[in-house]
Structure 1
Amino acid sequence: MPMYPQQPTPGLPEDPYREAPGPVPRQANPSWMGQVHPGHYRPAPGHGGQPLATVGPHLPETALRVSRARTGLAGLSIAGGVLAFLSLFLVVPFLLSNTGAGGFLIGFLASLVPLSVVLAAVHIIDRWEPEPKRLLLFAFVWGAAVSVAVTLLIQPFFVIAFQFTDQADLQTYMATVQAPVVEEFAKSLGLLIILLAARRQFDGPVDGVVFAFTIAGGFAFTENILYFGRAVAESASPASDLAQIFFLRGVMSPFAHAIFTGTTGLVMGFAARKWHTGASVGAFLAGLLPAMFLHNRWNSMGRGFLLDYIMVQVPIFLLAVAGIIFLRVAEKRLTRQRLLEYSAAGWFTPDEVQLLATPAGRRTALSWAATAGRKPQMKQFLKAATQLANIRQRILSGRDVPLHQAEERHQLQRILELRAAIAR
């Protein structure tokens, strides 16, 4: 694997960020994702040093720990843990009162199956640029505990606000109005918190989908415990009723909540590229509308459920799958282009960009590193390069440029350290 630039030049420039914005090269916009305004484009900082394995001071592990702490993930994790713990005092008694101890246990175990399916999908979507595990854990506990508690606290006000004399009308109202509005608000509130508190980790629409799917998977997990457990506790034939409700929720629709909230995550992901608090809140509100609409359509299916499922819900699911694939392809193209810009500045060779920015190249790089006993270092190098591409995209967005340039400088130094660890 090549570890050096093609044409190194002596001397490290005093100010690698001195170049002013210039015209946008034709290839700088490889897809619709991440379009660059001409006034915001600037070349990548020049490397201009000696062979990359020896350039730059060694960055101590303590400095890396300080940098990671600055992301705010620790504070967000603690806050999420506290909120989840407090939420359990409301959620667990609610579940036990509806399912009983036996129903709760069976419902819990049965709910692990659809949850595993959703989390497996999250893992596949998130493989290109894995999100921090603590942030994904926050998203899950928000969905499984906090959003459920928020729903339980808010939904009584919807019942009080609209008085119904007919029980059937009340049930219809709760399913088609209250549930879509309250549940999507409660779930997506977690997305907004992630975007505002950990915005450096929220790089675009793919990240929005990943966080949304994780939150929705947690919410569906708790909701499934309620439905599965209640089928056991309240039925005269618990086995058949559990099988029926499990087939409906666990087999036919494990991604229902994920698709609902995923639309909000998608909208907020596009807003994340702008790095503007007002735009983020606006995207949160705008993203709730399609989520609530899809949720309403799902809960409105009645006697013609099977026909609506085949004619409406299955195409929506297939459209969601196609959209995620489309986003992944666009994300990979953008990563490759941004790394090519660093390659032109001397930080990578073109061959390295192929290894870092294509699925086949990454497999080759990891295989090579495994034979050399450096696979963990190579994984970190791949991740750091992808993060570097995202940092450059933020710089080219034109917002908070000095802040992101400082982050870029730190990331380039980390790239040097990881490169040295692989090359030695």
Structure 2
Amino acid sequence: MPRRIRKVGAPLGVIIGLGVLVGCILLLTTLANPVGMVIGFVLASVATAVVLLVYLWFDRWEPEPPRLLIFAFIWGASISVAISVALETMSAPLFGEDGFTSMAIVAPIVEEAAKGMFLLLMMTGRRRNELNSLTDCLVYAGFVAAGFAWLENIFYIAMGDTISHSLITAGLRLIMGPFAHPLFTSMTGIGVYLALQHRGSGAKVMYIGLGYIAAVVMHMLWNGSTVVGAGAYFLVYLFWMVPIFVLAIVTGISGRGREQRVVAEKLPGLITSGLITPNEATWLGSMRTRKAAIAAANQIGGAAAGKSVKAFAVQVVELAFVRDRIDRGLADERTYQLHAEEAYWLTATRAQAPVLQWLATYRAA
């Protein structure tokens, strides 16, 4: 059985190593301020869980490999934080007591670069096969930024001199802007997505650069407003952050809608190739009908049957995206190899889902 290119994760040793690094950082913070650390850890974790659940909801149509999502989050909470702290500390002597420069200029430039490095890593090797859509790019950007924000929020909350100070800091950071870092890094994610739609190196560099600049500018405005004062902070929040956040939500929803349209457009070709049946095409083209078919499989053969049908549906989505890449002229030799392997794995997934035969009479309403 050939190695499955699509199943890309992250080395377990790397994940464990980075996790240990995060644990050591949290331990040092605990020794400095145990009470503030506990408050920060609990509240920041709750807020971050909400953010991650939103991204997982966006990712339902074509779920990403769990290990890669874990890797993205831990990268944000370890590598990105370490790089940012090191570079900001090194640059501090250049600006002296100028807090505005360090907060509103240096921090955004450094932090968005540190988070964006993960997205550049995702564009290399087998990981590139996971960036099939705008939704994928936004999900990875959101996870790495959520990891960064989680640890940063813990630090700021733990730095409070008193419990009340820590709670006030938590309120400002976790109620006003839990999606701030993911929103900034989403701009880089959009740039990466646009870069992947072009074959030329110049176009790729341009779109990634524009995405990074947009992320830095948004971050600068946000950080700058916190330094200027409460009035500027609320103005930026209400008239800049909220509209951009709404636009990002609309973009994410429309991106997932495009994923659905791509799959629907490729279903006739999959029928012609004999990879799916006309009956299956009636329920593979939308999330609603797919969920209904999985529910029917659960009723027929139990949870295992429903899981196998879901795996089959996800594999159809994967193959549809590879075909779309070929049809749009963005394929290389590796893409054609991936197409052959995805078609093989679709057949293998079908063989592991005998309940599909029982669903032969099921037709989406």
Q: Counterpart of 1:67 in 2: which secondary structure?
A: coil
Question: Contact (CA 8 Å) 1:369, 1:375: kept in 2 or not?
Answer: yes
Alignment match of 1:101 (pick from 34, 37, 55): 34
1:286 paired residue number: 210
Q: Which amino acid aligns with 1:139?
A: A
Please state how far the C-alpha of 1:384 moved relative to its aligned partner: 0.3
Q: Which amino acid aligns with 2:130?
A: Q
The structure-2 alpha-carbon separation of the partners of 1:113 and 1:138, relative to structure 1 and needing over 3 Å to count, comes to: same
How high is the TM-score relative to the length of structure 1? 0.75
2:320 paired residue number: 389
The 2-side partners of 1:335 and 1:192 are apart by 26
5 Å-filtered alignment, 1:245-284, equals: 245-274=169-198, 280-284=204-208
2:360 paired residue number: none
Alignment match of 1:403 (pick from 317, 321, 334): 334
The 2-side partners of 1:391 and 1:116 are apart by 32
- Measured against aligned partners, the alpha-carbon deviations of 1:266-313 in whole angstroms (never above 9, x if no partner) come to 110222344677755554333210000000111122231223322222
1:132 paired residue number: 65
The structure-2 alpha-carbon separation of the partners of 1:137 and 1:230, relative to structure 1 and needing over 3 Å to count, comes to: same
**Structure label with greater radius of gyration:** 1
The structure-2 alpha-carbon separation of the partners of 1:275 and 1:352, relative to structure 1 and needing over 3 Å to count, comes to: farther
Please state how far the C-alpha of 1:321 moved relative to its aligned partner: 1.0
1:192 paired residue number: 120
The 1-side partners of 2:200 and 2:308 are apart by 34
1:296 paired residue number: 220
Question: Contact (CA 8 Å) 2:188, 2:208: kept in 1 or not?
Answer: yes
Please state how far the C-alpha of 1:334 moved relative to its aligned partner: 1.3
The answer as to 2:343 corresponding to 1:412 is yes
Please state how far the C-alpha of 1:410 moved relative to its aligned partner: 2.2
Please state how far the C-alpha of 1:409 moved relative to its aligned partner: 2.1
Question: Contact (CA 8 Å) 2:283, 2:289: kept in 1 or not?
Answer: yes
The structure-2 alpha-carbon separation of the partners of 1:275 and 1:342, relative to structure 1 and needing over 3 Å to count, comes to: farther
Question: Contact (CA 8 Å) 2:36, 2:166: kept in 1 or not?
Answer: no
The answer as to 2:148 corresponding to 1:219 is yes
2:362 paired residue number: none
Q: Which amino acid aligns with 1:136?
A: L
The 2-side partners of 1:74 and 1:183 are apart by 23
Please state how far the C-alpha of 1:419 moved relative to its aligned partner: 2.4
- Measured against aligned partners, the alpha-carbon deviations of 1:138-157 in whole angstroms (never above 9, x if no partner) come to 10000011100011111123
5 Å-filtered alignment, 1:351-390, equals: 351-373=279-301, 374-390=305-321
Question: Contact (CA 8 Å) 2:298, 2:306: kept in 1 or not?
Answer: yes
The answer as to 2:4 corresponding to 1:67 is yes
1:181 paired residue number: 109
Percent identity of the aligned residues? 31
Question: Contact (CA 8 Å) 2:264, 2:285: kept in 1 or not?
Answer: yes
Please state how far the C-alpha of 1:115 moved relative to its aligned partner: 0.6
Q: Which amino acid aligns with 1:308?
A: V
5 Å-filtered alignment, 1:323-342, equals: 323-342=251-270
How high is the TM-score relative to the length of structure 2? 0.87
Q: Counterpart of 1:128 in 2: which secondary structure?
A: coil
Q: Which amino acid aligns with 1:205?
A: L
Question: Contact (CA 8 Å) 2:72, 2:143: kept in 1 or not?
Answer: yes
Question: Contact (CA 8 Å) 1:342, 1:348: kept in 2 or not?
Answer: yes
5 Å-filtered alignment, 1:11-30, equals: none
Unaligned runs of at least 5 residues, structure 1 = 1-62
Please state how far the C-alpha of 1:388 moved relative to its aligned partner: 0.4
The structure-2 alpha-carbon separation of the partners of 1:287 and 1:397, relative to structure 1 and needing over 3 Å to count, comes to: same
The 2-side partners of 1:119 and 1:308 are apart by 24
Unaligned runs of at least 5 residues, structure 2 = 358-365
Q: Counterpart of 2:211 in 1: which secondary structure?
A: helix
Q: Counterpart of 1:398 in 2: which secondary structure?
A: coil
2:361 paired residue number: none
The structure-2 alpha-carbon separation of the partners of 1:163 and 1:93, relative to structure 1 and needing over 3 Å to count, comes to: farther
Please state how far the C-alpha of 1:86 moved relative to its aligned partner: 4.9
- Measured against aligned partners, the alpha-carbon deviations of 1:377-420 in whole angstroms (never above 9, x if no partner) come to 10110110000011112222434444322322222222223223
Structure with the higher helix share, 1 or 2: 2
The structure-2 alpha-carbon separation of the partners of 1:370 and 1:275, relative to structure 1 and needing over 3 Å to count, comes to: farther
Greater mean alpha carbon deviation, residues 132-141 or residues 273-282: 273-282
Q: Which amino acid aligns with 2:77?
A: A
The answer as to 2:85 corresponding to 1:152 is yes
- Measured against aligned partners, the alpha-carbon deviations of 1:54-110 in whole angstroms (never above 9, x if no partner) come to xxxxxxxxx26x325x855344x5445445545765x4476357x523322221112
Question: Contact (CA 8 Å) 2:8, 2:68: kept in 1 or not?
Answer: no
RMSD: 2.4
Question: Contact (CA 8 Å) 1:192, 1:280: kept in 2 or not?
Answer: no
